[in-house]
Structure 1
Amino acid sequence: MGSIANHAYSRYTYRAFFTRNLKLFNTNMKTLLFSFAGLSVKDKSAKEAIKYFNRAGAQVIAQDVDTKIKRTSGIAYREMTLTFADSQVVTIRIKESGDIFQVLVNKKLVPIKNQDDHVQAIAEIVGLLEAGRGKFQNKLALALAKIPAGIRTSAPRMEVVLDQKITALTEAIAAINEVIALARAA
């Protein structure tokens, strides 16, 4: 067969050769969970990922797998989006090799140490979700509590009215103290 460098192999032939002889190149193969070609909502690997997330304590309530292959920085990937019970969203970008390319937690890109060991990567993602849960919930609460610009509150007017009541009461107290002082003097 000769060496790969001496022949002009097509992309398919090179990929087939590499996958057949993967043990020659990488003897410490880690746990791979995703298959790039068959990745879908009903795929076994997606169901396994959800099972691992649930075991780690992050309940997945919705999942979506994008059917389109996207490219960034010359790397082809597919996206799997998971929505959790606390409204946090994780988007996992999976390369053609089945490794995790990037992870977005609540639309923010976060680094993952174990990109090729998916069980450890899921544990790492769950840790990030738990660490950022309080901040995310506060952000949601602020987003819900914003008052539209057209609505005005009566707080500034009430402050003026309360200040006027305070001055009126202090004047009344001063007047009563004068009456008491005159009554004691007489």
Structure 2
Amino acid sequence: MTGFRAQLAEQRWDDHRYYHHSLINQSLHFISACTFLVAYLILFVDPAVASLLAWGVAMTSRQAGHFFFEPKGFDHENGVSHEYKEEIKVGYNLFRKYILMGIWAAIPVVLAIEPTLFGTLIRPDGFEAYLRHVGIGWLFLGVIAIAFRTTQLFFVRDVETGLVWATKIVTEPFSDFKLYRAAPIRLLKGERIDTRHAG
């Protein structure tokens, strides 16, 4: 268990120091963490609404931080290139995220064109029912995305790395809430880049 916890701490630290320099990104991660925590509370009561909240607010704000605000040049603080960081990323690097978010965006389009998903779903009665189908589709996407990358890591790394990464992803809203809760205040004070990343 000690090794598992140490690797979890290492994965979290590497993710923070390599991919969270921008305080705008950190602030968006704080918003994302708060939203995910609410979605976790709703999940067992209304999974469709929880998923709509998680993907529609938490994931979009989170990935917008990475796509649009995080520096992509040479990381002088850690002494590595952006390409190196992308290559060693344990979870979803930017390329994999583009694919994931592309599938995410495609789900509502597919369900708008084919509301019964070729006869596998009950035809939605109105827009709310359609949104619920989208929410469930996004929920399945989230579960499949975690399971797929975890299994992939079993083979390209090892079983423990995969299990640690899955644990990191599921518990990330809690750690991000704690880690980035001061980011919005720092951003409002005029800071833009967090320079406390060197390992």
Q: Same fold (TM over 0.5)?
A: no
Report 1 or 2 for greater relative contact order, CA contacts < 8 Å, sequence distance ≥ 6: 2
Structure having the higher strand fraction is 1
- The structure having more radius of gyration, on CA atoms, is 1
Q: Normalization by structure 1: what TM-score?
A: 0.24
Higher helix share: 2
